[in-house]
Chains A and B, each alone.
Chain A
Amino acid sequence: MTNLIAAVAGFAVLTAGGGWALSKAMPLEAGVVVAYLAGFLAFLWLVGGGPALLDWAHGRHTEHSVPGWTRFARFSLDHKVIGVQYLFVSMLVLAVAGLMALVMRSELARPGLQFLSNDQYNSVMTMHGIGMVVVALTAIVGGLGNYAVPITVGARDMAFPRLNALSFWILPPAVLLLLAALAMGGMDTGWRAYPPLATRGGVGKLLFLLAFVTVGFSSIFGGVNTLTTVWTMRAKGMSLRRMPIFAWSMLSAGVIMVMATSVVAASLIMTVSDRALGTAFFDAAGGGTALLYQHLFWFYSHPAVYIMILPAFGVVLEVLPVFSRKPLFGYTLAAGSFLGIVVLSFLVWAHHIFTSGMWDFLKIPFMVLTEMISIPTGAVFLCALGTMWAGRIRMRAPMLWAVGFIVHFLVGGLTGIFLADVPTDIHLHNTLFVTAHFHFTIVGGTIFAFFAGFYYWFPKITGRMAGEGLARAHFWLFSLGFELVFLPLFYVGAQGVPRHTADYPARFAGPELAASVGAFVAGLATLVFFYNVWASSRSGAPAGDNPWEAKTLEWTVSSPPPAENFASEPEVTDSPYGYGAA
């Protein structure tokens, strides 16, 4: 615990104090960048990265994990500890960004400005956006992925435990920096941070950009680690065709994390450079162009939605066979679809900028390629329904959330067609229709799948069952609240209300109020969830090794699994989905 306190203190002193001191000697923003780099490195060193680095340099062994709950506050190299750390931080960010959603929906409950100024609204909205992007990128990939992937493929840990710890501990400075950004004048650009708006205005924007770049590095390191682990560390006998589908989805997401994230990092660093060093990449007056940023940003950020959704597909397809008591239907088709999505995800970015003034005839190939993504995505739906068909379905909490995923993600996918289609997108682009659509994909997809996976692996992680009644209440309240928020916004957006606005014409008071009520219902559901996690991890019924009668490797070891996961090296002789009777 002391290491964490020292790290936060060191970070705050160096970043804030250093920034102030350097600003006397050089331009403010250049000084802040240098001070942040120092504070960032100090944080990593003090939190435990320093000793681990020295151990490595001297060829000494670093303890992977220590007993007791304080291991969660340390620079632990154990993937199970790091998984829980990711889960904790992503749920903390979910709570904070969720509160910001409630602030926004309270402001929007009635027409006119209630208690926020336009500027405050824009900042709260931006922080909600980037916070939820962090949640969607880390909850499944960092949390469930770190915990489950090595065990499901039969490995003792991730391929690079130090890199794994590093990719987690990179996140807290980014979160601290985002909170500081909010205090330093905030960020009014939305999480996309389009210049020129992002290159104008106060130092809060610089902090936001630095935090975003930092998160990007975490993602790149995580991707490298996942790829290497799944590719090289599988148990004896686990051929690619015997790999659990969740590992396939993480492998696919890993490719995108490594290949795409560097591009957004570059575009953000170019923006920082425009601000702090006076370059003009995106400044028309200096010969640059603002449109370049949009291309670079979406070249990452469209694939990024597949970093969020591919692991969600993996979780759902992992859960469905267990609770349908059937083999996964179309295993090869599912894995192939994931890889198809990886390839296509790099070829569709311009559908975000059909109205930007890009060359007209380029819109047609981008529309066709975008719509082609529905082919592999549709295949995933087939695999889901085919798995359930003629099963003996056990409607436990993980299954409930997986079914919720199918329904809500379906709406998200189908409403996406309007935004791939150029004629309808030109009207709907940047409206609340888009807001509603992507919440149906990211919440309806990633978050529903996350909860399916969370309730599925909760007994493995804690050794106790999550309260089933509370999990059901969580599901029904959350689904209802979520639908109540976003179904009306499809209408409001198509009718003519743009997104990113603190107010709307009075004639939309009814649907907007419904959306605000829905947000509080979803918030209540989330409280039920947090209570369930707290209560069940202390006093839930003991789970045993395999409460769901599942067949993947993590269910062959104790709950929670022992240090280094397996007493002896596991050997795989068959598909992981040998459920059902002939």
Chain B
Amino acid sequence: MSDWKRAVPIIGAMSAALAVALTRVLAAVHLMPGVVAAREAAIVDSAFAAVLRIDVLIFAVVIATLAYILLFFRAGAEGGEGKRFESSPGRMVEIAWMALSCVLTLGLAAYGSEEFLALRGSREAEVDVQVRAAQWSWDFSYPALNATPASLILPKGKRARISITSEDVLHSLWIPAFRLKQDALPGRVNTLYVTPLVTGTYEIVCAELCGLDHTNMRSTVEVVEPEEFEARLKGETW
């Protein structure tokens, strides 16, 4: 297998160059939203970054190998036949590849499970909000505070339980700044837990096709300082 002596350093160098270049491009583009407004958003972003690193590595190695093959194993005008492998090194390569992909996959799954449990977090909450979705608007109510503001209002640093249901078809409450999403189904209450960490006003988007005005079914969530929270809700009640 004299091919390998030449191939390994070249493929290694090409993989490294490609991985570095891709990492630079992806850092410049920054795929995820710039705002990280909740405890949960930071967890999702770190999971995203981890998967992205593995993806870049696999992509770089496969593409570098393919590029090497296309550079060095092209038939000239004379054509000719390729060189058959002897079966035993071939079988070793198969076993090594399968073992590596099993380890990678199980590692990824274990990491994902851990991050998921962290994301899920505690089921205790200090604030309770009910959300009713209907074609094509969102209604928010705070039963304990007897308030029904026009937008979602949450106190910074306090865990909130958002109970979501729908009056008609499916909808999905998505807050990109929190990286969280929960479907709204008729006849069923789904709950979403979040701990907002940064004050500000963020978009709420409907992420489940719900008919005519799905595109415009938007609202906002406002994260306020905890001491302003109740006053803010009173001002919004109508």
Question: Mask for A373-401, Cβ within 8 A of B = 1, else 0?
Answer: 01100110110011011111111000000
* Chain B residues closer than 8 Å to A414, beta-carbon distance: 55, 58-59
Given known contacts A119-B212, A496-B205, A196 and B169 CB-to-CB distance under 8 angstroms: yes
Range of interface residues on chain A?
Answer: 35 or more
Interchain CB contact under 8 A, A118 and B186: no
Distance in Å: Cβ of A111 to nearest Cβ of chain B: 11
Docked pose: A200 CA to B206 CA in angstroms: 19
Q: Using CB atoms, name the residue of chain B closest to A384.
A: B66
Please choose the segment from B27-35, B124-132, B223-231 that sits at the chain A interface, where 4 or more of its residues have CB less than 8 A away.
Answer: B27-35
B5 at the interface (CB under 8 A from A): no
* Chain B residues closer than 8 Å to A499, beta-carbon distance: 209
Docked pose: A379 CA to B95 CA in angstroms: 10
Docked pose: A268 CA to B65 CA in angstroms: 45
* Chain B residues closer than 8 Å to A421, beta-carbon distance: 47, 51, 108, 112, 115
* Chain A residues closer than 8 Å to B210, beta-carbon distance: 197
Task: Name, among A122, A194, A417, the residue most crowded by chain B CB atoms within 10 Å (CB to CB).
Answer: A417
B:2-22 near A, CB below 8 Å = 3
Main secondary structure of the interface of A (DSSP, over half): helix
* Chain B residues closer than 8 Å to A374, beta-carbon distance: 101, 105
B207 at the interface (CB under 8 A from A): yes
B235 at the interface (CB under 8 A from A): no
Docked pose: A367 CA to B110 CA in angstroms: 10
A25 at the interface (CB under 8 A from B): no
Docked pose: A360 CA to B51 CA in angstroms: 21
B62 at the interface (CB under 8 A from A): yes
Docked pose: A581 CA to B86 CA in angstroms: 11
Question: Per a CB cutoff under 8 Å, which of B54, B59, B94, B182 touches A411?
Answer: B59
Interchain CB contact under 8 A, A375 and B185: no
Distance in Å: Cβ of B114 to nearest Cβ of chain A: 10
A316 at the interface (CB under 8 A from B): no
Interchain CB contact under 8 A, A407 and B211: no
Interchain CB contact under 8 A, B168 and A196: yes
Given known contacts A378-B101, A390-B85, A495 and B54 CB-to-CB distance under 8 angstroms: no
Distance in Å: Cβ of B206 to nearest Cβ of chain A: 7
B:43-66 near A, CB below 8 Å = 43-44, 47-48, 51, 54-55, 58-59, 62-63, 65-66
* Chain A residues closer than 8 Å to B105, beta-carbon distance: 371-372, 374-375
Docked pose: A430 CA to B217 CA in angstroms: 15
* Chain A residues closer than 8 Å to B97, beta-carbon distance: 378-379, 382
Q: Using CB atoms, name the residue of chain A closest to B206.
A: A498
Docked pose: A21 CA to B85 CA in angstroms: 70
Question: Per a CB cutoff under 8 Å, which of A201, A393, A417, A503 touches B69?
Answer: A393
Given known contacts A289-B188, A500-B209, A356 and B183 CB-to-CB distance under 8 angstroms: yes
Distance in Å: Cβ of A557 to nearest Cβ of chain B: 23
Interchain CB contact under 8 A, B172 and A357: no
**Number of B interface residues, CB 8 Å?**
76
Docked pose: A389 CA to B209 CA in angstroms: 46
Docked pose: A410 CA to B57 CA in angstroms: 12
* Chain B residues closer than 8 Å to A406, beta-carbon distance: 62, 66
B:179-238 near A, CB below 8 Å = 179-183, 185-188, 190, 203, 205-216
* Chain A residues closer than 8 Å to B93, beta-carbon distance: 382, 386
* Chain B residues closer than 8 Å to A367, beta-carbon distance: 109, 112-113, 116
B102 at the interface (CB under 8 A from A): yes
Task: Name, among B3, B84, B179, the residue most crowded by chain A CB atoms within 10 Å (CB to CB).
Answer: B84
Interchain CB contact under 8 A, B66 and A385: yes
Interchain CB contact under 8 A, B54 and A426: no
Interchain CB contact under 8 A, B69 and A389: yes
Task: Name, among A190, A324, A392, A403, the residue most crowded by chain B CB atoms within 10 Å (CB to CB).
Answer: A392
* Chain B residues closer than 8 Å to A290, beta-carbon distance: 170, 185-188
19 cross-chain CB contacts under 8 A: A188-B211, A196-B186, A197-B209, A289-B187, A327-B84, A367-B112, A367-B113, A388-B73, A390-B82, A391-B69, A410-B62, A423-B48, A426-B181, A429-B181, A429-B207, A500-B209, A500-B214, A580-B84, A581-B82
Query: 20 additional contacts, CB 8 Å, given A325-B75, A386-B94, A496-B205?
Result: A196-B186, A197-B211, A284-B185, A285-B187, A289-B188, A325-B82, A333-B94, A355-B172, A385-B62, A385-B69, A390-B83, A392-B80, A403-B70, A407-B63, A495-B33, A496-B33, A498-B206, A503-B215, A503-B216, A581-B84
* B interface residues (Cβ-Cβ under 8 A, vs A): 3, 29, 31-33, 43-44, 47-48, 51, 54-55, 58-59, 62-63, 65-66, 69-70, 73-75, 79-85, 90, 93-94, 97-98, 101-102, 105-106, 108-109, 112-113, 115-116, 119-120, 168-170, 172, 174, 176, 179-183, 185-188, 190, 203, 205-216
* A interface residues (Cβ-Cβ under 8 A, vs B): 118-119, 121-122, 188-190, 194, 196-197, 200-201, 284-285, 289-291, 324-327, 329-330, 333, 353, 355-357, 360, 363-364, 367-368, 371-372, 374-375, 378-379, 381-382, 385-386, 388-395, 403, 406-407, 410-411, 414-415, 417-418, 420-424, 426-427, 429-431, 490-491, 494-496, 498-503, 579-582
